[in-house]
Chains A and B, each alone.
Chain A
Amino acid sequence: MRRSPKPERQPLWPWLLLAPGLLWLVLLYLLPLLGLVPLSLSEPLSRFGLETVFRGRFATYLEVARDQGPILLRSLRTAGIATALGLLLAYPLALLIRFRGGRWQPLLIGLVVLPSLVSQLVRAIAWSTLLGDHGPVLGAIGALGLRDGLNALGLLRDGRLLNTATAVVLGLTTTLLPFLVLPLVVALQRIEPRLLEAAADLHAGPLASFRRVVWPLSRPGLSAGLLLSLIPAAGDVVNPRFLGGPDDRMVANTIENLLLVQLQAPRAAALTLLLMALVSVVVLLQLRAGTEELPLP
């Protein structure tokens, strides 16, 4: 009689190596996050005290969905537009770095990352100077005679740029650009040059080889970039505050206000969880799409 072979014992050391990271995630991320669930179902005992009492109050979610639903959707929309715009900029940039960068590649990548070394806040303030009513950007738009057209398209508000949705999207896009470019460059770098040579041998022009070879093989990088940028974009605080107007606030501004000003921690917790749930849905859809597109080995 044959015995099935004993399953080989998994070595322990990978877990040991993972332990610090896992511990960090569990203690500083997962536990506080789980703590939000009971908090969101509680009521504060007094307005200024810290104690809350658990009441299983689901109505908070309904109230938050009713009162903050529009801003939640607006945040996702703004984040989506900024990400899409970022992609339009990032893809050609990544192609350029990969295929025309040559020995300048590290330098070009460095230049893409460079703005991230400056605090996001300082960047937003710098943008506000550029986009101001008497700033150079609006000046150029005026000189080119584009002001009325852009106004009609809703990209300007009363002929101004600062404190509009457009300014928020511009600010967000610059914030996101490195997150989009880097994974794309990595994905493009992994494309075997021989595949391109083969495509050329088979009489594929540059367009055809892009469509049939480069684009499909870059999709994983595209997915990764989308995730890396959509998540922080949806929760951005700084750009809407300094570049937006009252109509362009995003959900993180509301969470901050609920928590610090209105002292309604349960509502803030509920809104946070709703935001996370919505973003998670988008992420899961994206991940599924992303894995299906992974090239076969």
Chain B
Amino acid sequence: MPAVPHPRSRRALLRRLALGAAAAAGGPALLQACRGPQGNGGSSGTATGEGGGELVISSFPLYIDADAPGAPGSVARFRKETGIQLRYLEDVNDVRQFFARIRPQLAAGRPIVQDLVVLTSWMAERLIGLGWLEPLPLEQVPNVRHLSPDLRNPSWDPGGRFSLPWQSGIAGIAYNIKATGRELRSVDDLFDPALRGRVSMLLEMRDTMGLLMLADGQDISRPSWQGAQNAFNRLEKARRDGQIRRFTGNDYQNDLLAGNLAACIGWSGDIAQLALEQPDLRFLVPESGGVLWADVMLMPRGARHRREAARWLNWVYEPREAARIAAAVQYISPVEGVQPILAADPATRELASSPLMFPDAAERRRLKVFGPLSESEEARWEERFAAITEA
């Protein structure tokens, strides 16, 4: 296979941070300025393949292989191959804020500009419940046969008609061993007074609460309000005691590299990438368990380009293409056959044995998916969580 683009440069990381920050502050101008070559939606597609047409996708920043010198990224190659004018927008920074953005249109029964959006599975569940999604055109996606069997009937979308996984990942403990001075072993280590003020946790409630609840021996696939109380109280106390320096989105990465954080709750792929620059970084899935999450591709109601969307889905489920993406983002690919492809290329051989990208059966058993919360339950959880993180 052609050379897989070399994993992240420092510049790419900075770009991601700036992007995350810009969207956090609602800075569309900066967002525009920072958007990479692939985000411009320009028509670099010289129609060599049959078809043409348009396609608009929204996803998280830097969640796909980017263009490298001499090695166009997936977006550019898809455009060239299919002649489809793909506008690939990296404008999802916070799933909940993205929901707030698309809500006025979808609630009024009007289509949004996107034909596909990549969002976290619990949000998929919410959107399915609201009836704001179209079933995916899976009949036009033969490559869906490569979907990993354990993802075919997800709890958030029984039968898998509305969602197709993009990547999965693990929320676990990231730490800088130079800063902690020792290996960390458990969630309790995040509460070690020696790390006071040098620990951050995620604003993504299910990841932070999930990890703490697993440490309490709770079954997070069926989260209960009662069972969460100890974790909530523990979090509240840690915040009050100054143990927790910040609650973060993906902006924890910069703090981790700069040495402002010794340990944090973070995401596996981020740390895998950061560890290339900062070899002292470690990622721990504690004995008590890690939170397995999935980001999924969804089609909003009234999407205008079903045929083109199907071609994209088919494209990214082709194992060779999936391998390129996986090598760049270093999360868990939902596509079967990626591992041997990575192993066959000397440039990516190391990745093929990464436990963060390809957890084995024993490791998988320690990973749990945060289960559904009813509407009213979720409101109650969000309120309590916000009272701790936002007060």
Please give the residue numbers on chain A whose beta carbons come within 8 Å of chain B beta carbons, in ascending order.
47-50, 67, 70-71, 119-122, 125, 128-129, 132-135, 157-158, 160, 162-163, 237-238, 241-242, 245-247, 249, 253-254, 257-263
Contact = CB atoms under 8 A, between A and B. Distances in A.
Contact of A253 (B245, B251, B378, B390): B390
Given A67-B387, A162-B260, A121 B244 contact: no
Interface string B175-195: 000000000000000000000
Nearest to A261: B96
Contacts of B18: 122, 125
A68 B30 CA distance: 31
Interface in B346-391: 375-376, 378-379, 382-383, 386-391
B25 A121 contact: yes
Contacts of B387: 67
A290 B391 CA distance: 35
A119 B379 contact: no
A237 B130 contact: no
Name B's interface SS: helix
Contacts of B103: 48, 50
Contacts of A160: 197, 260
Nearest to A49: B107
A122 B390 CA distance: 23
Of B126, B130, B197, chain A has the most CB atoms within 10 Å of the CB of B197
Contacts of A249: 390-391
Given A47-B378, A163-B246, A261-B382, 9 more contacts: A50-B108, A70-B391, A133-B260, A241-B24, A241-B25, A246-B247, A246-B388, A254-B391, A257-B390
A132 B97 CA distance: 28
B386 A262 contact: yes
A241 B387 CA distance: 16
Interface residues of B, number: 46
Nearest to B205: A261
B141 interface: no
Contacts of B104: 50
B116 to A, nearest CB: 21
A120 B259 CA distance: 24
B100 interface: yes
Given A48-B126, A48-B130, A133-B259, A163 B25 contact: no
B386 A246 contact: no
Interface in B1-37: 17-18, 21-22, 24-25, 27, 29-30
A254 to B, nearest CB: 5
Contacts of B254: 128
A121 B22 contact: yes
B68 interface: no
Nearest to B104: A50
B242 interface: yes
A119 B94 CA distance: 21
Interface string B155-171: 00000000000000000
22 contacts: A47-B379, A48-B130, A121-B25, A125-B18, A125-B21, A129-B258, A133-B198, A133-B260, A158-B196, A160-B197, A237-B25, A238-B25, A242-B251, A245-B244, A245-B245, A246-B246, A246-B391, A253-B390, A260-B94, A260-B97, A261-B96, A261-B100
A129 B36 CA distance: 24
A251 B348 CA distance: 47
Contacts of A260: 94, 96-97, 100
Contacts of A238: 25
**Sorted from nearest, which 3 A-B pairs have the closest CB atoms?**
A260-B100, A158-B197, A50-B107
Contacts of B130: 48
B239 interface: yes
Nearest to A248: B246
Contacts of B383: 262
Contacts of A237: 25
Contacts of B198: 133
A241 B375 CA distance: 28
A259 B21 contact: no
Interface string B85-97: 0000000001011
B102 to A, nearest CB: 11
Contacts of B197: 157-158, 160, 163
Contacts of B107: 48-50
Nearest to A134: B259
A158 B100 contact: no
A121 B30 contact: yes
A132 B260 contact: yes
B18 to A, nearest CB: 8
Contacts of A134: 258-260
Contacts of A71: 391
Contacts of A119: 27, 29-30
Contacts of B196: 158
A264 to B, nearest CB: 8
Contacts of A121: 21-22, 25, 27, 30
B259 A246 contact: no
Interface in B78-122: 94, 96-97, 100, 103-104, 107-108
B120 to A, nearest CB: 14
Contacts of A122: 18, 30
Contacts of B29: 119
Contacts of A258: 386
Given A238-B25, A253-B390, A263 B100 contact: yes
Nearest to A265: B100
A237 B197 CA distance: 22
Contacts of B382: 261-262
A246 B239 contact: yes
Contacts of A257: 386, 390
A76 to B, nearest CB: 16
A259 B97 CA distance: 9
Contacts of A245: 242, 244-246
A247 B240 CA distance: 8
Contacts of B126: 48
A134 B261 CA distance: 11
